[in-house]
Amino acid sequence: MAGAANIMRFAAMGTRVELHRFCGGADDALAAARRAIEAVDDALTIHRPSPATAMNEALLAGRPAALDDELLFRAVEAAADGHAATKGLFDVAADLRTGTRWSMIAFDRAARRIAAERPIALDFGGFGKGFALDRASAALREAGVRSALLTAGESSITVIGEHPLGGPWPFSIPHPEQPDAELLVVELCDQALSISATVGAGTRAPERAAIVDPRSGSPVEVPACAVSIESNGTLAEIMSTALLVADRKAAQCLLRDGAGRRFHFDLRSTSELPRKCA
Partner 1 sequence: MSDQAFDLTRRSFLDRVLMATAGAGVAAAAPWAVSAASAASAAPMAPATGDRVRLGVIGTGDRGRALIRNIAKSRNCTVAAICDKFAPHLTKAREIVGANVPAFADHRAMLDARGIDALVIATPLNQHARHAANGFDAGLHVWCEKAMARTIADCGAIITRSRAANKVLQIGHQRMFHPTYLNALKRVKAGDIGEITQVRASWHRNNSWRRPVPAGTDDRHINWRLYRESSAGLMTELATHQLQVGNWFLDAVPTRVIGSGSICFWKDGREVYDHVALIYEYSGGRKFIYTSLLNNARYGCEEQIQGSKGTIEPELGRIYAEVPPKVLALQRMHQDVARGSKRTVPIGGATWFPELPVTTPGDSLGWGEYDETMLQFEGFGEAVRSGKPLPGLLAQAYRASVASLLGEQAMDRGEAMTWPTSLVEV
Interaction of residue 167 with partner 1, rule CB under 8 A: yes
State in angstroms the smallest separation of the CB of 275 from partner 1.
12
196-215 residues near partner 1, rule: CB under 8 A: 200-202, 204-206, 208
State in angstroms the smallest separation of the CB of 130 from partner 1.
12
210-249 residues near partner 1, rule: CB under 8 A: 227
The distance of Cα 230 from the centroid of its chain, to the nearest Å, equals 11
Q: Contact with partner 1 (CB under 8 A): which of 179, 210, 231, 247?
A: 179
Q: Contact with partner 1 (CB under 8 A): which of 61, 97, 110, 165?
A: 165
Cα separation, 251 vs 274, in Å, equals 24
**Residue 21 contacts residue 34 (beta carbons within 8 Å):** no
Q: Which amino acid is at 133?
A: L
- Of 101, 104, 93, the C-alpha closest to 216 is 101
- Of 171, 176, 204, 174, the C-alpha closest to 189 is 171
Of the listed pieces 89-97, 112-120, 161-169, 228-236, which binds partner 1 according to CB under 8 A?
161-169
Cα separation, 146 vs 244, in Å, equals 33
Instruction: Give residues with Cβ within 8 angstroms of 272, minimum separation 6.
Output: none
Interaction of residue 161 with partner 1, rule CB under 8 A: no
Q: Which amino acid is at 146?
A: R
Cα separation, 46 vs 210, in Å, equals 16
Q: Contact with partner 1 (CB under 8 A): which of 10, 118, 172, 221?
A: 172
Interaction of residue 164 with partner 1, rule CB under 8 A: yes
| Contacting residues toward partner 1, per CB under 8 A | 2, 7, 14-16, 18, 20, 22, 126, 149, 151-157, 163-167, 169-174, 176, 179, 182, 185, 193, 195, 200-202, 204-206, 208, 227, 276
